[in-house]
Amino acid sequence: MQALKGKNALVTGSSRGLGKQYAFDLAKAGANVIVHDINNHAASEFNEAESGHEVARDIQSLGVKAEFIAGDLSYPKQASSVVAEAINRFGAIDILVNNAGGDIGFSTPRPNPNDALDISVEDIRSVVDRNLLTTMYMCKYVGLHMRERKSGKIINVGSIAGHVPVREGIIYATAKAGISYYTRSLAEQLRPYDINVNAISPAPTYTGRFLATRTVKEEEGKSRLQKIAHPEDMSGIVMFLCGPSAGVLTGETIVCWV
């Protein structure tokens, strides 16, 4: 349970949803946690927490250091600032979990229409910025820090949508597919510096946003591996990638099929 004691982990988009589960599980494993979200009140959007600062305080109760840092990672300067502030407060970043993202429209919870042709150009930009580009920006700035230290682990969060053809959410699926290729290539660049870069492509998972933006079909009679996942299911895989058991694994994407 203390496999990550003394490590410092930055989890983007971690005041809510899957990111929040990752942050708490990292803390339970002994890691100090930098909680991040686009702003302090993002956690309250789907009633998952009162604020980012409250999530950090709850994590502190587990006996580790935890602080909240806000920033819109779709802007390179803000991404750089979040990384610089995290290093200033914690001294170093040992683990980066690039969780921030989502199929989020420019001015709506989800793009509408949400296909390849009728979707607005504003929504295309919003989805690509929030998923692929935020991952690239954070990997760039944290990767420079880790390369200098010759140590670190990066876990990028894609989606099962990036591995199957879809009719809805095509831009989102494409951005997530790009994360898998980017992960494999970045892993090769950072291999000489003992930095592991891997990814997880989560299956559909119950979160506040998921329940607010999707209709859940009846699951009675389905097997455990056919049902919508729970946050702890996905977090177990992230914890494996963060821990010593994945010490020689790099460039891989673990795809959670349903």
Annotated active-site positions, please?
A: 172
What gap in Å lies between CA 168 and CA 41, rounded to an integer?
29
Residue ranges in the chain assigned as alpha helix (H): 17-28, 52-60, 76-90, 121-128, 134-149, 170-190, 208-213, 231-242
- Measured in degrees and rounded to the nearest 5, phi and psi for residue 103 equal -80, 75
Q: What is the DSSP letter of 229?
A: B
What gap in Å lies between CA 198 and CA 241, rounded to an integer?
7
What gap in Å lies between CA 162 and CA 172, rounded to an integer?
8
Q: What is the DSSP letter of 202?
A: P
